Structure 1
Amino acid sequence: MQVRRERPIPVFRLYGETAEATVPGFVHAERIGTSAALHDWEIAPHRHGALSQGLVITKGTGALSLDASREEFCAPWLVWVPSGVVHAFSFRPGTDGVVLSLADDFLAAVLDPDPEAGRLRATTEATFSGRPGSPEEIDLDLAGLVQTLAREAAGALPGAASAVAALVKLLVVGVLRTRAARSITEPAALARADLHRRFRRLVEMHLREGWPIARFAASLGVTPDRLHAACTEAVRRSPQGILHDRLMLEAKRSLIYTTLPVSKIAFDLGFNDPAYFSRFFAARAGSSPATFRRENRSGEI
C-alpha cells in the first residue's frame, strides 16, 4: 500500500525563502511591490517561524488571509502578523507599501525593557488587519514611519541600529493605538498584563499535552482566580476560553492545510477520545470537523 506523505504548511523566512530557523536579530524592510511582483502578486499560505511581520499598504487593493479568516483590503491598510500565524495575500498589480520582517528575539530586545512591555508584547502577539489610525487620531504617521524605517534598515549610517529599534517600537505603538487599546500605567495592571502574556506562552509550550487550567496557574505561581482576572482584563476571555480558542485554531489549521485524519488531529491536540474532540469542535465551530474541512479546503493539498 502506498503511503501518502503529508505536506506541511511552508515555513518561510521571507516570501519564498524556506528556512528552518530565523537568523537572530534579523530585521528586513522592503517594498511590497518589489516582493509581490516576483510571485505574480499572489503569496500562497505560509507561516514564519520566530518571525513577525508588519505591513503598511499605501496603494492598491487585494485580499488577505490570517489563519481561517479572509478579508478584502483597500489602501491605506495596516496588517500585523505574529510568528506562527498562517497567512496569505492576493495583491492587485501595482499595490505598494512596506513589509517589515522582524525576528522575535529582536522584538523582545526592543520591547522587554520598556515600562509598558506587557501591553506592547501583547500587541505583537495578536493579529491585526484594518485601516490604520490617521496621524490626527493616533499622533503617528505610520506610512512615513515605515518609509523611514525601511531607509534606516537598508542603510549603514551611524546609529542605524538604534534608529531601527526606536522606529520598530513606534510602529508597535501605532498598532496599539490603532486598535484603540487603552494604555497601561499602573504597576498592578502591568503585572496582570504580563501574567496574561506568560500564560499565552505556556499555552503554546503545552498546547498538545491536555493541561487543565489549574496546572497552568500552578506553573505560573498564581491561583486560578488570579489567572482568570489577568486574562479577562487583558482580552476579556477566561483562561479556559483562551485555551479552547487556541486548540480550535490549531484544529482548523490542521483540517484546512493537512490531510491528517480527524482522529490523528484529535490525538495530536491532546484529546484521548476522537469522539469527544468532534463534539468539542462542533460546539464551537457550528459544524463537525469533517464538514468544516470540506467547506474550507480549496483544491488538493
Structure 2
Amino acid sequence: MPTLRERPIPVFRLYGETAEATVPSFVHAERIGTSAALHDWEIAPHRHGALTQGLVVTSGHGALSLDASREEFSAPWLVWVPSGVVHAFSFRPGTDGVVLSLADDFLAAVLDPDAEAARLRVTAEATFSGRPGSPEEIDLDLARLVETLMREAAGALPGAASAVAALVKLLVVGVMRTRAARSITEPAALARADLHRRFRRLVEAHLREGWPVARFAAALGVSPDRLHAACTEAVRRSPQGILHDRLMLEAKRSLVYTTLPVSKVAFDLGFNDPAYFSRFFAARAGLSPASFRRASRGGET
C-alpha cells in the first residue's frame, strides 16, 4: 500500500472532487465554510488542473500555503490561485468569505476578446495573495462583487450567464488594480505581453520534454531575441530563467509531496542525467534535492 506522499499531488475540480468531473465553462461560487467545515477547516495540499480560484476572505483568519511558501492572513484578504498551483489552507473555524472557481476555458472566453486582453490574461495567470485595499484604492468593492457573483453563479436568474461573465471580468480588473499591475497600453507592448503568455503556456505543455529556448521560440514563430525581450518586459525574467524557475518549482513539488527517488524526479522532468539534475537543483536552491526534501519535512528521513 503506497503512503500518502508516494501518490501524486491530487488534482481536483473542486476540493475532493476528481479532475475528470470538470466540465467546459464551469463556474462555481460558495461560502468558504461550506467545504472547509466539512474538512475541519483544513484544506490539504492540492491543485486544480484546469480551474483558477479566487478567494475573498471577509472575516476571520488562517494560514495559506502556495507551493513552497506559507503565510498567515487575516480579513480582509484576497487570494488568486491559477490552475496548476499547489495550495493549501488552514482556516480558523468560522472564517467567512467566498471562494470562486472558474474553468480556464471560461476565463479565456471572457478575457480574450477584451481590448486589454493581454494585460488581463497576465493578471489572471499570476498568483496573488494579499490585502485587497480599500474600495477607494481599487475602484471596486471586491467583497460585494463576489457576493453578487455567488448569487448569479447559481444560474436561477434570467441572464445569469451574461452577468457572471461581466462580473468575472470586473473581478479580474479588481485583482489587477489591487496588484498595482504596470500599465500596458501600446500595441507593441500588448503583443509582447501576449507572446510572454503564449510562451508560458508552451512551457506548461512541454515542460518535461527538455526543450531548449530556441525550440520554444521557433514553435512560437519568433526569434530567441524577440522572445527574450517579451519575457524580460513582462516579468523581468529571461525565457531561460522562466523555464528554469518552472522546472525548479515542479522539482520542489515532487520532492515535497511525493517520495519518488531523486533519479525518477530528474527523469520525469526531462533530465537525462540525475547527477546533472542534482547540480542544477543545488545551484538554484542552495541544497541538494535530497537535503531539500529532508529540510522540507523538518528533518524526517
What do the CA deviations read for 1:96-150 (whole angstroms, capped 9, x no partner)?
1000001111111101111111111111111111111321111110011101111
Where do 4+ consecutive residues of structure 1 move more than 4 Å?
1-5, 298-301
Q: What secondary structure is seen at the aligned counterpart in 2 of 1:228?
A: helix
Instruction: Quote the offset at 1:257 in angstroms.
Output: 0.7
Partner Cα distance (1:149, 1:233) in 2: 33
SS in 1 for 2:6: coil
Report the secondary structure of 2:4's partner residue. coil
- Give the match's secondary structure for 1:230: helix
Q: TM-score, length-normalised on structure 2?
A: 0.96
> 2:147 corresponds to which residue?
147
Counterparts of 1:153 and 1:294, CA distance in 2: 44
Q: Secondary structure of the equivalent of 1:249?
A: helix
1:224–1:61 Cα change, 3 Å? same
The CA deviation at 1:18 is: 2.2
Contact 1:21–1:50 (CA<8 Å) still a contact in 2? no
Distance 1:119 1:5, change over 3 A: closer
Cα contact 1:22–1:49 (8 A) shared by 2: no
| 1:145-165 alpha-carbon deviations (Å, 9 max, x no partner) | 101111111142111111100
Question: Which moves more between the two structures, 18-27 or 183-192?
Answer: 18-27
**What is the percentage of aligned positions where both structures have the same residue?**
90
Q: CA deviation at 1:94?
A: 0.9
In 2: Cα distance, 1:21 partner to 1:67 partner: 24
* RMSD between superposed Cα atoms in Å: 2.0
Per-residue CA deviation, residues 155-201 of structure 1 (Å, 9 max, x unaligned), is 42111111100100111111111111022211111000000000001
**TM-score normalised by the chain length of structure 1:** 0.96
Deviation at 1:6, TM superposition (A): 3.4
Q: Do the aligned residues in 2 keep the contact of 1:12 with 1:49 (CA within 8 Å)?
A: yes
Answer yes or no: is the 8 Å Cα contact 1:11–1:20 preserved in 2.
no
Deviations 1:188-227 (A, max 9, x none): 1100000000000111111111111111111111111110
Shift in CA distance, 18/297, structure 1 to aligned 2, threshold 3 Å: farther
Paired positions, count: 301
CA contact (8 A) 2:24 2:103 kept: yes
Q: What do the CA deviations read for 1:10-48 (whole angstroms, capped 9, x no partner)?
A: 111112222325111110000002221111100011111
Offset of residue 231 of structure 1: 0.3
Listed as ranges, the gaps of 5+ residues in structure 2 are none
